[in-house]
C-alpha cells in the first residue's frame, strides 16, 4: 500500500523529492521506480514495463518525486500566448487533421501580414508574451515568406517571442526555395524566430506515422531538423499525439527517439543554446496530447483513454531525465485531467491560448481563462506562476492577493473553430 505521507527516511535526491520505496508487490518494478525517482536513467524496455504493469499510484508517486526533486519550490507555470494561423492551405493532407484545405479549395485562405500583426497587437494587450505562428504547407510559401513574416512581427512587436512552426514547415519551405535545411534554419532565425514548436511530431515511429501522415517526413527526419535547429541556437519543445492506433511499444519508442536526440544536444553543449544535464536547452519540454476525432479521415476509430494518458504522463517524467519540463494538455484531455496530471510529475499547464483553431477544428472543446487556470494550479497544492517561452518566471502568485485581475484573458476569445467565435462569455470559477 502506498503511504499517504513520507518520513525523512523516504527522501531521495535533492530537497523535496520523495518516493516511498517498497510499495509494490513486484520487486523489479519497484526497483525501476526507485531509480527513476532518484534521477537515474530507465531503459525503454523498463519504461514499457512501467507503462503496462506498474501500480498507478506507485507510478504517480515516483513521477511526482521527480517533479519535487527538480522543482522543490512547488511552482507550476502557465503561459499567455496566441496561436495565429497564417494559412489553412496544405499539400500534406494528414489524415488526423480537420484544419487544412487542399490548394484551390473553396474554403482555403491565407491571412495578410496586416491581419497577423493586428492579432499580435491584440494579444499583447491581453498580456501575451508569445505568439505561435502556424499554418499549412502552402505550395508557394518558401523561406522568403517566413523571413518576411517573422521580421514584420519583430519589427512591430519586439517584445513578443516567436515560438512557431515546426520541422515539417522547415522542410517544406526549404524544398520550395531549393535550399538546405541549415540555410533555412539560419535565415528564419535571423529574421526573428526565437523558438521552434514541437508541431508535426504526432507519432515518430515509422509504422504509425505512415498510417496517419503518409506524405509527411519520417520521424527520423523530423528529429534531424530539430537537431540542426538546436545546433544553431534555437531550442524547442517536443510533442506526441496519442490515440490513432499506435501500440504501447510505439509510444515508448517515440520518447526514446526524442531522448536520444536530446542526449546528443547535452553532449554537444551547443555554444548558442547551452544544454545542461537536466535538459535546460535543446528540447525544453515534452507535451503529450490526445487525438481529437471530429471532422477528419480517421474519424475516431481509436483514441487514448484518460488512464492511458495519465500513465504515459508519469512514465514520461521518469523517462526524460534530460528534458527539464513536462506539460499537461488540458485543451485535449479536459481541465480535470490536466489538474490531476499535476500529481503525476507535471510542472506546467501550458497556455491560456487566446486563439486556437487546429485542434479545436477536430473537436477539442475545452475552454479556460486566466482565473480558472490559476485556480486549478493552486487547488492542486501548487504555487501558480506566469512564465515566458524559456520558462523564466514573470509573476509568481504566492497568494490570491498576487493574482492578476484582467477578466478579458480567456482561451479562444478569437477562434474560427469554436461556437460564436470564442469564449468571451465563459463564466469565471469561484476561487475562494
Angle between helices 44-53 and 306-319 (to 10 degrees): 150
Same domain, 51 and 139: no
408: helix, coil or strand?
Answer: coil
Does the residue 290 lie in any domain?
yes
For the stretch 275-328, pLDDT in tens is: 665 555 799 999 998 886 645 556 655 578 999 999 999 999 999 999 999 999
Q: What is the pTM of this model?
A: 0.86
Dihedral, 87, 228, 345, 37 alpha carbons, nearest 10? 170
Computed over every residue of the chain, the mean pLDDT equals 84
Q: What is the pLDDT of residue 311?
A: 98
Same domain, 265 and 337: yes
- Contacts of residue 79, defined as CB under 8 A and 6 or more positions apart, other chains included, come to 129, 130, 348, 350, 351, 352, 386, 387, 388, 389
Work out the average pLDDT over 25-48. 96
Does the residue 296 lie in any domain?
yes
Helix-then-strand count for the chain, H and E? 15, 11
Does the residue 391 lie in any domain?
yes
Write the CATH number for 349: 3.20.20.70
Same domain, 117 and 240: yes
Beta bridge partners of 348: 77, 327
**Other Cβ atoms within 10 Å of 368 Cβ, number:** 26
Same domain, 182 and 260: yes
CA separation for the pair 10, 239 (Å, rounded): 33
Q: What is the pLDDT of residue 410?
A: 64
For the stretch 345-404, pLDDT in tens is: 999 998 885 655 444 444 445 456 788 889 999 999 999 999 999 999 999 999 988 887
Does the residue 194 lie in any domain?
yes
Q: What is the pLDDT of residue 273?
A: 60
Q: Strands of 352-405 (E only): list them.
A: 383-387, 393-396
Radius of gyration of the CA atoms of the chain, in A: 21
Q: What is the pLDDT of residue 11?
A: 33
Q: What is the pLDDT of residue 48?
A: 98
Same domain, 18 and 94: no
Q: What is the pLDDT of residue 279?
A: 53
Same domain, 344 and 387: yes
Is residue 299 exposed (0-12), middle (13-18) or buried (19+ Cβ within 10 Å)? exposed
Q: For residue 91, what pLDDT band results from cuts at 50, 70 and 90?
A: confident
Does the residue 427 lie in any domain?
no
Which of 20-24, 84-88, 338-342 is the most confident on average?
338-342
Q: Strands of 29-167 (E only): list them.
A: 75-79, 81-85, 130-134, 161-164
Same domain, 280 and 357: yes
Q: Which domain holds residue 21?
A: 8-70
Are 345 and 313 in contact by the 8 Å Cβ rule? The answer is yes
Are 108 and 89 in contact by the 8 Å Cβ rule? The answer is yes
CA separation for the pair 105, 89 (Å, rounded): 8
Q: What is the pLDDT of residue 53?
A: 97
Work out the average pLDDT over 315-344. 92
68: helix, coil or strand?
Answer: helix
Same domain, 266 and 367: yes
Does the residue 288 lie in any domain?
yes
Same domain, 240 and 324: yes
For the stretch 217-257, pLDDT in tens is: 999 999 999 999 999 999 999 999 999 889 999 999 999 99
Q: Among 16, 43, 70, which residue terminates a domain?
A: 70
Does the residue 430 lie in any domain?
no
Number of domains in the chain: 2
Same domain, 59 and 83: no
Q: What is the pLDDT of residue 424?
A: 41
Does the residue 428 lie in any domain?
no
Q: What is the pLDDT of residue 1?
A: 26
Backbone angles phi, psi at 348, to 5 degrees: -150, 135
Are 131 and 353 in contact by the 8 Å Cβ rule? The answer is no
Q: What is the pLDDT of residue 304?
A: 86
43: helix, coil or strand?
Answer: coil
Same domain, 412 and 392: yes
341: helix, coil or strand?
Answer: helix
Q: Among 48, 70, 92, which residue terminates a domain?
A: 70
Work out the average pLDDT over 408-416. 57
CA separation for the pair 59, 299 (Å, rounded): 32
Q: Among 21, 37, 70, which residue terminates a domain?
A: 70
Q: What is the pLDDT of residue 354?
A: 64
CA separation for the pair 143, 162 (Å, rounded): 16
For the stretch 379-392, pLDDT in tens is: 999 999 999 999 99
Q: What is the DSSP string of 208-266?
A: HHHHH-TTSPPHHHHHHHHHHHHHTT--EEEEEEE-SS--HHHHHHHHHHHHHHHHHHH
Same domain, 369 and 229: yes
Amino acid at each position: 500500500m502506498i503511504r499517504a505521507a513520507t518520513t525523512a527516511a523516504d527522501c531521495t535526491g535533492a530537497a523535496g523529492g520523495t518516493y516511498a520505496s517498497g510499495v509494490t508487490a513486484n520487486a523489479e518494478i519497484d526497483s525501476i521506480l526507485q531509480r527513476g525517482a532518484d534521477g537515474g536513467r530507465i531503459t525503454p524496455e523498463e519504461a514499457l514495463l512501467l507503462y503496462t504493469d506498474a501500480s498507478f499510484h506507485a507510478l504517480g508517486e515516483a513521477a511526482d518525486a521527480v517533479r519535487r526533486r527538480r522543482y522543490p519550490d512547488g511552482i507550476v507555470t502557465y503561459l499567455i500566448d496566441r496561436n495565429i494561423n497564417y494559412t489553412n492551405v496544405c499539400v500534406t493532407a494528414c489524415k488526423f487533421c480537420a484544419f487544412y484545405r487542399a490548394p484551390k479549395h473553396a474554403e482555403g485562405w491565407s491571412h495578410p501580414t496586416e491581419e497577423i500583426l493586428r492579432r499580435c497587437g491584440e494579444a499583447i494587450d491581453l498580456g501575451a508574451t508569445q505568439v505561435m505562428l502556424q499554418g499549412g504547407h502552402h505550395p508557394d510559401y518558401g523561406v522568403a515568406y517566413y523571413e518576411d513574416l517573422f521580421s514584420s512581427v519583430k519589427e512591430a512587436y519586439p517584445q513578443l517571442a516567436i515560438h512557431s512552426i515546426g520541422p515539417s514547415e522547415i522542410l517544406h519551405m526549404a524544398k520550395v526555395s531549393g535550399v538546405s535545411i541549415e540555410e533555412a534554419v539560419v535565415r528564419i532565425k535571423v529574421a526573428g524566430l526565437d523558438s521552434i514548436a514541437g508541431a508535426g511530431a504526432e507519432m515518430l515511429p515509422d509504422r504509425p506515422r505512415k498510417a496517419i501522415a503518409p506524405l509527411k517526413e519520417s520521424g527520423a527526419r523530423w528529429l534531424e531538423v530539430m537537431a540542426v535547429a538546436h545546433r544553431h541556437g534555437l531550442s524547442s519543445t517536443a510533442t506526441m499525439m496519442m490515440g490513432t492506433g499506435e501500440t504501447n511499444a510505439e509510444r515508448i519508442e517515440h520518447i526514446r527517439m526524442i531522448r536520444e536526440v536530446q542526449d546528443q544536444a547535452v553532449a554537444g553543449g551547443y555554444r548558442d543554446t547551452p544544454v545542461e544535464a537536466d535538459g535546460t536547452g535543446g528540447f525544453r519540454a515534452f507535451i503529450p496530447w490526445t487525438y481529437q476525432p471530429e471532422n477528419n479521415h480517421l474519424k475516431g476509430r481509436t483514441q487514448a483513454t484518460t488512464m492511458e494518458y495519465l500513465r504515459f504522463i508519469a512514465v514520461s517524467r521518469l523517462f526524460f531525465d534530460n528534458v527539464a519540463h513536462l506539460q499537461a494538455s488540458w485543451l485535449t484531455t479536459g481541465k480535470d485531467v490536466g489538474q490531476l496530471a499535476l500529481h503525476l510529475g507535471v510542472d506546467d499547464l501550458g497556455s491560456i491560448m487566446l486563439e486556437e483553431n487546429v485542434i479545436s477544428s477536430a473537436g477539442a472543446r475545452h475552454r479556460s481563462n486566466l482565473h480558472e487556470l490559476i485556480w486549478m494550479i493552486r487547488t492542486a497544492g501548487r504555487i501558480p506562476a506566469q512564465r515566458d517561452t524559456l520558462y523564466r518566471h514573470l509573476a509568481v502568485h504566492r497568494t490570491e492577493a498576487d493574482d492578476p485581475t484582467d477578466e478579458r484573458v480567456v482561451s479562444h476569445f478569437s477562434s474560427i473553430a469554436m461556437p460564436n467565435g470564442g469564449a468571451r462569455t465563459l463564466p469565471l470559477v469561484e476561487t475562494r
